[in-house]
Amino acid sequence: MAATVVVNIVVGPLVKIVLEKASNYLLDKYKVMKGMEEQHEILKRRLPAILDVIADAEQAAAHRAGAAAWLQAIKKVTYQANEVFDEFKYEALRRKAKKEGHYKELGFSVVKLFPTHNRFIFRNRMGRKLRKIVRADVLVTEMNAFGFKYQQQPLVSSQLRQKDHVMSDPKKITSRSRGKHKEKLVDMLVGQANNADLTVVPIVGMGGLGKTTLAQLVYNEPAIKKHFNLTLWVSPKKKKKKKKKKKKNDATSKNNLQKLVSGQRYLLVLDDVWERKDDIWEKLKACLQHGGRGSAVLTTTRDGGVAKTMGTVEAYNLTAVEDEFIKEIIETSAFSRFQNEEERPAGLVNMVGEFVKRCVGSPLAATALGTVLHTKTSEEEWKDVLSRNMFCTEETGILPILKLSYNDLPPHMKQCFSFCAMFPKGYRIDVDKLIRLWIAHGFIIQEKQVCLETIGKQIFNELVSRSFFQDVKQVHEIEKKLNMTGHVIPELHAKSMILCMMLHFL
């Protein structure tokens, strides 16, 4: 959810990448900018000036349409500049290869008849492109008119190392806070033992209240494992528009599903259902009704309409977590660098109650907010966070706090997170592949004596700790066992795969 909101206002990292390319020593060494020195110098002066105020501009874009439009224009020009300096770098590397005698090895000798590498033609063509970018000086004028201010960016690596001291798991606190709810749901499901009809229990609540966590607690409860012969967990993905599949595939999926549940007393968890598809649910339900007496479906959703469509009993409306647990979650994250409670600064401890009110009983919001506060060490910094507009409501959910957490990220982390908007909701990300993509796009900043892959993993862990990603390898017991290859989730359990096929073809 957060990715789609903030992706359009991420510009700073792009500008920084272009500045690094424009300052590459190869451009001067192999004289690829000859005849364009003036435009080159203008860009090298303007880019740092834009970087100085870009963080303030990105924050202003959330509530100022003019600032948002300016950022979009800057983004467009920056992408153009990025492509231009990629061409300059390529030309510099080509000249380097030729000078060092590697020309024939790289196959350039076969293109001598073409004018592509003629220096006069190259200078003429690239000069036009560069002048087009430099002429966008109106954007600099507008930048000054908006009055954007310089903001000091946080030191990332030190923050990441600090978090490595002691980091308690806020999820355990959330689990404790939902103990009574778990008992009620377990009793409700086990109590249907003699019911010949399929029981469907929806858990309904605002995003971030811990519906999935509660479903996990129920799913892993020993009494549930003992009572049901078969337990399954599926997270339906949002359906994309695709061409119609053959009826043969539909029939095969339905038959497989019926065989799986036939005669079995099963519990199926459908986690995070969004779409109201009455026809799809009726077809799926028809297959699921072949299960044994006492079978049940437990589903989680934010949508009361979905709960009404699917439920056979009254929906279980999940209430807010009590303030004492929200406070504990915030303190666990915010003060994780302290070994003992006595070491926590009294002034900061006294301010926690104000932050509790902002979370409206959401453990996810408390986790995100606590992670932001972890990087702030003075009362002035905490007061600054309190002064920001981050009140959660039924309409906004926890988005204001997630945006606060996002705005607190360093520029290159924003870029890494925004890049993930390319993945559909519910997509199981291969972390190693994602990090390689970040590296390939130049999003990760090199540090001395630290390899890029290590930095990439630190960035991913930071984003997880700020609640931007769900660490799906912890979703439930079955998927934990499959997570031995280093990926987040390499595959689904075979039984769950059949259900996914069913959901896909319907």
Where do the H-state alpha helices sit in 191-322? 211-219, 222-227, 247-261, 278-288, 304-310
Rounded to whole angstroms, the Cα distance separating 330 from 355 reads: 8
Rounded to whole angstroms, the Cα distance separating 403 from 128 reads: 40
Residues 417, 299 share a domain: no
Q: Looking at the domain assignment, is residue 255 inside a domain?
A: yes
Task: Flag whether the pTM goes above 0.85.
Answer: no
What pLDDT does 470 receive? 65
Residues 357, 247 share a domain: no
Residues 162, 136 share a domain: no
Residues 339, 449 share a domain: yes
Q: Looking at the domain assignment, is residue 173 inside a domain?
A: no
Residue 191, number of CB atoms within 10 A of its CB: 12
Residues 327, 446 share a domain: yes
Residues 219, 121 share a domain: no
Residues 293, 421 share a domain: no
Q: Could you tell me the two tokens for 43? A: 């860009």
Q: Could you tell me the two tokens for 180? A: 């009574």
Structural domain range at position 50 = 2-146
| DSSP letters for 91-118 | HHHHHHHHHTT-TTTTTGGGGTTSGGG-
Burial 121-138 (b: 16+ CB within 10 A, else e): ebbeebeebbeebbebee
What pLDDT does 189 receive? 95
Residues 337, 293 share a domain: no
How far, in Å, are 162, 173, 232 from residue 159 at the CA level? Answer: 5, 24, 39
Q: 230 and 261 in contact (C-beta within 8 Å)?
A: yes
Residues 447, 371 share a domain: yes
What pLDDT does 489 receive? 25
Mean pLDDT per 10-residue section of the chain, whose length is 506 residues? 45 85 91 92 91 84 85 90 92 87 62 62 91 84 86 53 51 89 95 92 91 94 94 74 53 77 92 83 88 94 91 93 94 87 91 92 90 89 85 74 82 84 78 92 82 92 80 42 28 40 42
- For the chain, how many structural domains are there in total? 3
Q: Looking at the domain assignment, is residue 503 inside a domain?
A: no
Q: What does DSSP say about strands 296-301 and 266-270: parallel, antiparallel, or unpaired?
A: parallel
What pLDDT does 140 receive? 84
Q: Looking at the domain assignment, is residue 261 inside a domain?
A: yes
What pLDDT does 20 receive? 87
What pLDDT does 166 receive? 44
Supply φ then ψ for residue 299, to 5 degrees: -125, 150
| DSSP letters for 369-418 | HHHHHHT--SHHHHHHHHTS----BTTTBTHHHHHHHHHTS-HHHHHHHH
Residues 106, 53 share a domain: yes
Rounded to whole angstroms, the Cα distance separating 325 from 316 reads: 21
User: Residue 255's domain is classified under what CATH number?
Assistant: 3.40.50.300
Q: Looking at the domain assignment, is residue 425 inside a domain?
A: yes
What pLDDT does 107 receive? 58
Residues 373, 310 share a domain: no
Q: Looking at the domain assignment, is residue 466 inside a domain?
A: yes
Q: Looking at the domain assignment, is residue 14 inside a domain?
A: yes
Residues 385, 477 share a domain: yes
What pLDDT does 165 receive? 43
